[in-house]
């Protein structure tokens, strides 16, 4: 099952790292504990709507842009999840390492 | 503050109603209580990632599509929220009734 909190955490972490900012800095701005933000980024905790809004503010990103990134990541995850059912003989480990932007059907057919 | 759970609830409700399905039917398929699903649709409860995946399954929609709809709704909500700050003299009640698809700048300038 593709879990929203995992992909959301990935996108939040990528966003923070692309800005060269630390967990400490963003957690202080978002008024959330460093440990909690870290758990959200690792997909171990669900972020409430209020907390997510605070994190977006701290990162200076619109929540709509964040969700669009998550939606794009989900498309890849959904394709990767569906691929083993469609292609008999596909190598599951090959599916698991599809990078963002790759064409899943090519990997599934390998 | 624009809250994700409110917009997510709106999109889930619109999706269910566009299929002509009842809360009872979808809640049974998603294995969640009718009351809880109703609260999620009204933006009063946060749906966990697992529950959201179950509701999407029950509705037969990809979570990525659902999130894209939510992202689109968020763009309008963010514009409506930002508009009163940008346009002195705008009528707040006019901002609040911007329908999806409307051009917010036209309403803000009215």
Q: Which residue of A49, A66, A72 is the best one to mutate when testing the B interface, meaning the one whose CB has the most B CBs within 10 A? A: A49
Of A1, A49, A67, nearest to B71 by CB-CB distance is A67
Name residues whose C-beta falls within 8 Å of residue A97's C-beta, 6 or more positions apart in sequence. none
B4/A68 touch (CB, cutoff 8 Å), yes or no: no
The answer to whether the CB atoms of A74 and B52 lie below 8 A apart is no
Largest CA-CA distance found in chain A, in angstroms, rounded: 49
Q: What is the ipTM of this complex?
A: 0.72
Is the Cβ pair A4, B63 closer than 8 Å? yes
Main-chain phi, psi angles of A91, to 5 degrees: -90, 110
3-state DSSP call for residue B38?
helix
Question: Residue B5's closest chain A neighbor by CA?
Answer: A49
Q: What is the pLDDT along chain A (110 residues), one digit of tens a residue?
A: 889 999 999 999 999 999 999 999 999 999 999 999 999 999 999 999 999 999 999 999 999 999 999 999 998 888 888 876 555 444 444 333 444 454 444 444 43
Strand, helix or coil at A43? coil
CA-closest candidate to residue A12, choices A65, A66, A51 = A66
Instruction: Indicate the pTM of the whole model.
Output: 0.74
For residues B62 and B64, give the distance between their C-alpha atoms in angstroms, rounded to a whole number: 5
């Amino acid at each position: 099952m593709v879990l929203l909190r995992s992909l959301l955490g990935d996108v939040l972490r990528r966003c923070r790292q692309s800005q060269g900012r630390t967990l400490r800095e963003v957690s202080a701005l978002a008024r959330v504990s460093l440990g909690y933000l870290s758990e959200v980024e690792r997909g171990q905790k669900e972020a409430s709507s209020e907390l997510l809004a605070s994190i977006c503010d701290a990162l200076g990103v619109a929540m709509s842009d964040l969700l669009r990134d998550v939606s794009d990541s989900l498309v890849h995850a959904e394709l990767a999840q569906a691929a083993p059912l469609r292609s008999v003989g596909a190598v599951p480990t090959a599916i698991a390492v599809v990078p963002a932007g790759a064409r899943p059907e090519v990997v599934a057919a390998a």
